[in-house]
Amino acid sequence: MFENLGSRLQSVFRGLNAKGRLSEQDIDTAMREIRRALLEADVNLGVVKEFTARVKERALGADVLSSLTPGQMVVKIVLDELTELLGTTPTKLVLSSRVPNVIMLVGLQGSGKTTAAAKLAFLLRKQGKKPLMVACDVHRPAAADQLEALGRQLQIPVSRGADDAHDDPVAIARAGVREAIDTLCNVVIIDTAGRLHIDDEMMGEAEAIKKAVRPDQILMVVDAMTGQDAVNVAEAFSKRLDFDGLIMSKLDGDARGGAALSIREVTGKPILFASAGEKPDSLEEFYPDRIAKRILGMGDVVSLVEKAGELEFEDDFSESDADRLKAGKFTFDDFLKSIKQMRKLGGLGAVAKMLPGGGALKDAAGAMDESAVARSEAIVLSMTPQERQNPKLLNGSRRARIAAGAGVQVSDVNRLVKQVAEAAKMMKLMSKSGGKSGKMPAGIPKNFPSF
């Protein structure tokens, strides 16, 4: 998400940083480029005008024009304004003391409500809650079956209501809350019906469910790929239902991100969650400041560390492995373990995007290409256990055999052998440096890794 916008804005800032001093004309030129980039990202026109006006007013201040690093000052201003645009207030889902808590999902058909219900239930269960999903979409064929299938997959219970009330969404919602009380579930997630467009029947049904179960939170699910249509729909729902927050779905399918940048400013409602993938754990809490930094190429190390903390790596590297790596003994088996760890974090590309400048590194070197990683993995898997532990055994004939087994060229094998040797050298140098300077030791290969 935001890839196109991020690359455009970063290009503008590189031009500003190249100048020792900024004139008013330089700032005007930069504002035109920023305005064009935002419009191409499908950001609402009114939002773009107000955003660029605020940035320009601050950028023309004396503290910027007289600064020794005016380009960096402008970047800081844009970062602050992007964060303000996305929302500076806390965006966590706050559950009340009521048991069970009732969360109602609304939105158009195709926005991803049913999948979002399952992802939200999965997330809440990880936080120690006991959720129950309620299938109140009686209009879309097999909607309840889909929710039930997701429930079985995630081992989360689903309520469909009594047989004699299977076509009454209000009765199904009431029955779901009663079932949650009977089964000691403390969170109820109600999946409501949507339409291909906004109509009175859909809104009336949602209002009736709201009146019947008095939800603690109403969350609207919007499809990020629909751009400004998502903003217009959210505005209409806000007027009728006064929902509490938003779930942005399918952000992985939208490289522009205009809806996410516009929707809070237009509706006044915060984005609580963002979904960028099909897996149950792809729903993440939305942090405006972190998203703003990702857009500007500053990375999101905090989210990366948090994600790593949620995963279990202890089975990958033992304490004895750590001591061996410090001594510079990095084997091909260690290389495979490293790939396994990266994939747990979403893959090398995902990690690169969360590192400062990582997106540029990915584009410049192609180092984070998953297919290249898979080829390297195939090369290692074509080695014998002895060869993986002792790269010195890899003479010419062995390398030819490995290349044939992996379906690659001998030059690919040679390249990987060299890179693993460089990794061992890097770890040994880092161990000797003790990390006192906080910088990478001299002699580390600049192009590592490049699988």
Structural domains in the chain (count): 3
pLDDT above 70: percentage of residues in the chain: 76
Q: Is 342 exposed, middle or buried, given 0-12, 13-18 or 19+ CB atoms closer than 10 A?
A: buried
Q: Please give the C-alpha separations between residue 137 and each of 119, 133, 144, 147, 249, in angstroms, as whole numbers.
A: 17, 12, 7, 10, 18
Answer yes or no: do 151 and 268 share one domain.
yes
**What pLDDT sits at residue 76?**
83
Tell me the average pLDDT of the chain.
78
Non-local (6+) Cβ contacts of 323 within 8 A are: none
Q: Are strands 283-285 and 271-275 parallel, antiparallel or unpaired?
A: antiparallel
Domain final position from 60, 86, 112: 86
- Whether 394 is in a domain gets the answer yes
Find tokens 């179960």 and name the residue. Answer: 213
- Whether 96 is in a domain gets the answer no
Answer yes or no: do 226 and 160 share one domain.
yes
Gap between the Cα atoms of 17 and 36, Å rounded: 20
Answer yes or no: do 125 and 220 share one domain.
yes
Q: What is the mean pLDDT of residues 129-148?
A: 90
Among 226, 294, 274, 270, residue whose Cα is nearest residue 85: 270
pLDDT digits (tens, 9 = 90+) for 289-325: 777 777 776 654 444 444 544 555 445 445 555 565 5
Answer yes or no: do 249 and 355 share one domain.
no
- The CATH number given to whatever domain includes residue 356 is 1.10.260.30
Answer yes or no: do 366 and 236 share one domain.
no
Find which of 154-158, 246-250, 320-324 is predicted with most confidence, using mean pLDDT.
154-158
The pair of structure tokens assigned to 135 is: 């299938």
Greater confidence, 56 or 89? Answer: 56
Non-local (6+) Cβ contacts of 369 within 8 A are: 349, 451
Check if the beta carbon of residue 17 is closer than 8 Å to that of residue 303: no
- Whether 310 is in a domain gets the answer no
Answer yes or no: do 78 and 113 share one domain.
no
Answer yes or no: do 341 and 384 share one domain.
yes
Gap between the Cα atoms of 227 and 202, Å rounded: 22
Q: At 448, is the pLDDT very low, low, confident or very high (cuts 50, 70, 90)? A: very low
pLDDT exceeds cutoff 60 at 351:
no
Strand partners, 283: 275
- Whether 447 is in a domain gets the answer no
Q: Which helix (H) or strand (E) segment is 217 a member of?
A: strand 217-223
CA 346 to chain centre: 10
- The CATH number given to whatever domain includes residue 191 is 3.40.50.300
**What pLDDT sits at residue 300?**
47
Answer yes or no: do 107 and 170 share one domain.
yes
What count of other Cβ atoms lies within 10 Å of the Cβ of residue 407? Answer: 11
Q: Which helix (H) or strand (E) segment is 171 a member of?
A: helix 169-182
CA 364 to chain centre: 22
- Whether 188 is in a domain gets the answer yes
Among 64, 60, 82, 69, residue whose Cα is nearest residue 17: 69
Greater confidence, 33 or 8? Answer: 33
Check if the beta carbon of residue 260 is closer than 8 Å to that of residue 224: yes
- Whether 238 is in a domain gets the answer yes
Find tokens 């936080």 and name the residue. Answer: 127
Answer yes or no: do 124 and 208 share one domain.
yes
Q: What is the pTM of this model?
A: 0.66
Whole domain around residue 59: which residue ranges? Answer: 5-86
**What pLDDT sits at residue 122?**
94
Q: What is the mean pLDDT of residues 236-255?
A: 80
Among 211, 232, 2, 23, residue whose Cα is nearest residue 107: 232
- Whether 314 is in a domain gets the answer no
- Whether 301 is in a domain gets the answer no
Check if the beta carbon of residue 218 is closer than 8 Å to that of residue 244: yes
Give the three-state DSSP class for 286.
coil
Answer yes or no: do 267 and 350 share one domain.
no
Gap between the Cα atoms of 38 and 8, Å rounded: 9
Among 275, 207, 202, 289, residue whose Cα is nearest residue 241: 207
**What pLDDT sits at residue 161?**
74
- The CATH number given to whatever domain includes residue 50 is 1.20.120.140
DSSP 366-434: -TT-HHHHHHHHHHHHTS-HHHHH-GGG--HHHHHHHHHHHTS-HHHHHHHHHHHHHHHHHHHHHHHHT
Domain final position from 86, 112, 139: 86
Answer yes or no: do 323 and 193 share one domain.
no
Rg for the chain, CA atoms, rounded: 26
**What pLDDT sits at residue 324?**
59
In 269-321 the beta strands, taken as DSSP E runs, fall at 271-275, 283-285
Check if the beta carbon of residue 197 is closer than 8 Å to that of residue 226: no
Gap between the Cα atoms of 276 and 285, Å rounded: 11
- Encoded amino acid at 403, one letter: A
Answer yes or no: do 71 and 189 share one domain.
no
**What pLDDT sits at residue 14?**
79
